[in-house]
Amino acid sequence: MPRGGQPEEELKALLPASVAVRFDEMFPDTRNGRIRRRDRKRAELLRKVEPVLQRLLAPTEVVRFATNGARQLMWWLLTAGSMNPFANRTTLVLTDKRVVLIHTDWKNRPRMFANQLPLDRIRATSGRNSYIFIRTGREQLMFHGVKRSEARHLRGLLYSTASKKGGWQNLCPRCFAATDSAPPACETCGEVFKSAKKAALRSLMFPGLGDFYLGYRKYAMLEILGGAVLWAIFLSTLVPAVRAKGSEGALVALPIFALVALVHVCDALLTRAKARTGLHSKDGALPSE
């Protein structure tokens, strides 16, 4: 038996059966006849998001590359959002029509929301270290945590056409209809979405409540715990001081109160930014089986 085409056959067997893949672009390094761990991982990555791709891709659409990392917003980098990669794992899928971002859990299974950027909306692509930057009409996407060689390869595949305006589009997590805005419900299938405003107001009331509403339960628990500790410090300063000096004693606790208020406001803004990254379905999530 000739052993020539074996690695290619093995990789093809790992790929999801229902998705068309441009093999040479997806696995640029298989020519030397062996499968690298990274290639195997990439095939597995695609298989995990297959339930989404199956419903999302057009019949003739071909997948060119896939990688995973964390989507970052400037807002998150400037605030406590450096914690955000924990809640914001993302699989990036490049097709011949668009770049698709699929929100996933730690095991790369589809989770809450998805976005897309049609290729003709890309104004520029660059990268540094483990970052990929994709500029569109409105904003710059920062995609972090990509393997250096993969980032380089992806940059080579993403050429800019730079003519049209417009940015990332939200995808309905149920029927995958694309929209440039954030409607309260899907115009195609009627799926109802969670409101960014409601999420922000909840986090303003108490840190973490907005995240809980959006469905980031574990992250929310951490924030609620942190908020509770802050409030405990505040109250344990305020109560003895007021008991000792009356209302004048409240002044002692004022700086801590300012800190508590700041944390509430920052978390509200952060939660709003997170809610706006995609359409969070009211009683569902991305298909993962």
Contacts with Zn ion, residue ranges (CB under 5 A)? 172, 174-175, 177, 186, 188-189, 191
Residue type, 141: L
Q: Which is nearer to Zn ion, 114 or 186 (CB)?
A: 186
Q: Which is nearer to Zn ion, 93 or 186 (CB)?
A: 186
CB of 191 to Zn ion, least distance (A): 5
Residue type, 273: A
CB of 174 to Zn ion, least distance (A): 5
CB of 197 to Zn ion, least distance (A): 21
Per-residue CA distances from 259 to 80, 136, 227, 230 (Å): 14, 37, 11, 9
CB of 238 to Zn ion, least distance (A): 49
Identify the CA nearest to 51 among candidates 88, 16, 97, 90. 16
Q: Which is nearer to Zn ion, 191 or 211 (CB)?
A: 191
Q: Which is nearer to Zn ion, 69 or 173 (CB)?
A: 173
- Per the CB < 8 A criterion, the answer to whether 240 and 225 are in contact is no
Distance between CA atoms of residues 243 and 34, nearest Å: 75
Q: Which is nearer to Zn ion, 94 or 172 (CB)?
A: 172
Q: Which is nearer to Zn ion, 110 or 127 (CB)?
A: 110
Which backbone phi and psi does 190 adopt, to 5 degrees? 85, 0
CB of 279 to Zn ion, least distance (A): 9
CB of 19 to Zn ion, least distance (A): 21
Identify the CA nearest to 212 among candidates 258, 279, 266, 267. 267
Count of CB atoms situated within 10 Å of the CB of 168: 23
- 198: which 2 tokens? 């409601």
- Per the CB < 8 A criterion, the answer to whether 136 and 99 are in contact is no
